[in-house]
Structure 1
Amino acid sequence: MTTTPRGADETPAAENLPAGAPLPTGPGSPEPVESSQRRPRRRSSLGRQGIEMFLENRLAVLGLVLIVGLVLFSFVGPLLHRTDQVHTDLANAYVPPGERGYLLGTDGIGYDQLGRLMLGGQTSLIVGLAAGLLATAFGTLWGATAGFLGGWVDAVMMRLVDALLSIPALFLFMLIATIITPTVPMLVLTIAAFAWLNPARMIRGDSIALRSRDFIVAMRGMGGGSARAVRSHIVRNAIGTVIVNATFQIADAILYVAYLSYLGLGVPPPAANWGGMLSSGIGEIYSANWWLVYPPGILIILLVLAFNFVGDGLRDAFEVRLRKR
């Protein structure tokens, strides 16, 4: 008959102990696990689960691949496909794709269309990213401050936002673009000057919900100021909303660049962007020069959709309920 060593079955399991009872000590007893060892695992698990949820969204993954591909096309492509985008070459105007060594043909003044698309992508991406991020940053601070302070400060700040939102943004952009010389920095500032309104309203809602939380009340009870609360607590806890909103703001800024350039208010030649190329190609559509219209239009659609797809994926990844399912 097999004998059991004395004391091996006398130690009760931790899960069988009553609530609040101390864990047994001595040989054979389970070693306690410190809470500091469990926290990193939980955080890494949540982060890993968020990444898995993002990867489950096939459209989000497709959008990320498109963004990376278009960035490489616009910034790495000119290093591999060198063209002259400054001097005109009327002898090679309207060359169809595939002829004389031009993969996508040439436009009405002899510019290589493929190289022109790469150069135009740089302008569209730089203006869209810079304007979108700048608008999101300013709108986040504005909305977080208004929601946290509340009272008459919130009323005044948000009434200004409502007043500016009542004016069509495209009309304001056109008005400003006709007054100033449209350059890349001016386009960034012009678009960001009015694109911050929607982020401000969204972050204000999160700020109102967060300002009554226990950690905010405890911080203020210990003498913490409003600036520290907004910077260190409100903005950090609303970072999911900020990041998701930034992707949509970038997509909107790229569309605004295309709008202004299509109306002739974009960056003047020899600089290029996809909206200006699309505007120039519209007049050639009845001349069977299709390669001047479809490539820039398709690239604009793909880039805007890519940022929207990524924004949808990030929204799901940052959603707490979905991450804890």
Structure 2
Amino acid sequence: MRPISYSRVSDVATAIGTVTADPDSAFLAGGTTQVDLLRIYVEQPRRLVDINDLPLNRVEELPDGGLRIGGLARMSDVAEDPAVLRRYPVVSEALLLGASPQLRHMATVAGNLMQRVRCSYFRDTEASCNKRAPGTGCAAMEGVNRGHAVLGTSDCCIATHPSDLGVALQALDAVVQTEGPAGPRSIPIDDFYLLPGTTPEREHPLDHGELVTGIDLPPLPVAATSRYTKIRDRESYEFALAAVAVAMSVVGGRIAEIRLALGGVATKPWRARAAERELDGAPATVESFTRAAEAEMAGAVSHGMNAFKIELGKRTIVRALEEMAQREGTA
């Protein structure tokens, strides 16, 4: 076993400085994914810097009317926060559907956004995986890929991003706040996740030692009418085969505002912009929802066992929109 040193810090500057000084170090928060990867030798840092004492665990009002969720806020606490429940229910629903109660009590929102893929080949150190070992190939291309992505893929990687919270935040145009050796940064959620392209090992634009300090939710009245729909093999403690985050307002039977993001079918939380264009101003009907779903999934590419996800993605979009329209009393 490779020895690991451990230290605990209580302020952001010390945390960043400690990790930045050692290229073979990493932050440790909830550890619900990281400890698993350590055990199977997928990740092997020499030093872990425990950041659980940092004052980054609150949900706070922003001057512009939005909310800031601290990077170390626990998933369960955010899901139950009154302001989140009232103004951004899709965030609460995504969190509650994202893990077991035990994990939600421990896992942080920043850790959830940063979690690694669940591809079995990534987690098998004997298998070919460009994400874990660049240049070795992608065993999933011709292997067991039922759970893999059909959107945003490349010849190097087809792994699906597992975060439910990331999908909800993508629909809301959230902004990730970070602090690093070069100072603070504000990163739009869509830019926070990188497509695999030819560098699947690089999943985020963060520098070594850069810490996610918070996530800003913008003031969006439409977010109050939002929901998260998740399709999976079993009802609890399972990752999505297809998921949809939707925020929608309907005026006079037509869609006045629409925000849509997909999970379970793409290599990153996927903003469904083609579907949004189809739905903007359209009647809130099954026919409109079906056209939007067809438009969004038109560019999907399957790799054998995951071909069913293209049709499942379409049906999940339609189902989520129908349920939202019923809530609004327009379907």
Short-chain TM bin: under 0.3
Higher normalized helix content (fraction of residues): 1
Q: Report which of the two structures shows the higher radius of gyration computed on alpha carbons.
A: 1
Normalised by the size of structure 1, how large is the TM-score? 0.23
- Structure with the bigger RCO (C-alpha within 8 Å, sep 6+) is 1
Higher normalized strand content (fraction of residues): 2
